[in-house]
Amino acid sequence: MKFFRLSHRNEIRVGLVRGESEGVLLPAQHSDVVDVIEGGKDALAAAKKLLDARDAETISLAGTRLLSPIGRFRRDVLCTGWNYWDHFEEGIGRREGQEVERPTAPTFFTRSPSTVIGPTDPIAFDTGISKKWDYEAEIVAVFGKTGRSIPHSEAMDHVFGYCLANDVSQRDLQRRHGGQWLKGKSIDKTMPIGPWIVTADEIDLPKVRLQCVLNGEIMQDKTADLMAFPLTELIAELSFGMTVNAGEILLTGTPAGVGNARTPPVFLNEGDRVEILGSGLGALTNIMTKQDLLGRSDIVI
């Protein structure tokens, strides 16, 4: 099943994709896919029954603006860095004195929830905030069950489904703040996710082909089987002594081809069209759009 979220007749609703271009709306009390996830097996069964119902409330998805499938976050967005070795290697010599050895365990960081936007929303862009805007195609794992210190053998039992993200990054902010990534990953309205959440039973994760297309040119193109640490290991390590909650999301890393690692570097500019595609997961299509993020700040980059 594919769960989406949208504004419909002045209400935020959750729906299911049926066929090629039809959406089935869930009851109005569901305003976030988190509601379904937290409802467990009963909520999933009810959704599946509604998907097959002839008298269900339906809409056409053609031309419909979808929201991010999850809009309610109980903490920062969980993320994984350097989870494709080719991406780690392409960055060697480009970290401006902040070089590290190849990690022996997953590298985690977080992003502010205020970065999250929908699958076709404009990505906020302001050169007063950064001069080095970069794209990162990522697969997102959505937790379906709360747990702590989850063993590898049970990790996939905690996965509800998957979607896509563009982990747009400001490389100069990453370097400015000591090499830690929170600030260079947390600029408002810069991370599209979606377009929907596909339940785990429909996706063979290692076979997913992940791409980033910038203004019609393929910049990233890899399959998820190239992850340095597979999802089971990410979940086991992330949850080690730390609770992960149903409805939270985990970005699983980006493959080689980012703009900062190219010669010469390729950074995003106003008007650029950025597409993130994943086989079985749909696509994000966003335009870099000038917005005033600097405001009255007197910080100079």
Task: Encode pLDDT of 261-277 as tens digits.
Answer: 999 999 999 999 999 99
Of 222, 197, 194, 196, the closest CA to residue 208 belongs to 222
Residue range(s) defining the domain that contains residue 45: 2-67
Mean pLDDT calculated for residue range 230-236: 98
CA–CA separation, 160 vs 141, rounded Å?
A: 8
Tell me, yes or no, whether 113 and 87 share the same domain.
Answer: yes
Tell me, yes or no, whether 94 and 132 share the same domain.
Answer: yes
pLDDT of residue 95: 75
Tell me, yes or no, whether 42 and 109 share the same domain.
Answer: no
Mean pLDDT (the chain, rounded)? 96
**Residue 288 is which amino acid?**
M
CA–CA separation, 54 vs 51, rounded Å?
A: 8
Tell me, yes or no, whether 46 and 87 share the same domain.
Answer: no
Of 128, 251, 107, the closest CA to residue 181 belongs to 107
Residue 70 has pLDDT above 90, yes or no: yes
Choose the final residue of a domain: 24, 39, 67. 67
Mean pLDDT calculated for residue range 84-113: 89
Residue 179 has pLDDT above 90, yes or no: no
How many domains is the chain built from?
Answer: 2
Choose the final residue of a domain: 27, 42, 67. 67
- Threshold 0.95, pTM exceeds: yes
CA–CA separation, 164 vs 205, rounded Å?
A: 12
Tell me, yes or no, whether 148 and 34 share the same domain.
Answer: no
Tell me, yes or no, whether 124 and 253 share the same domain.
Answer: yes
CATH number at residue 155: 3.90.850.10
Residue 40 has pLDDT above 90, yes or no: yes
CA–CA separation, 121 vs 186, rounded Å?
A: 17
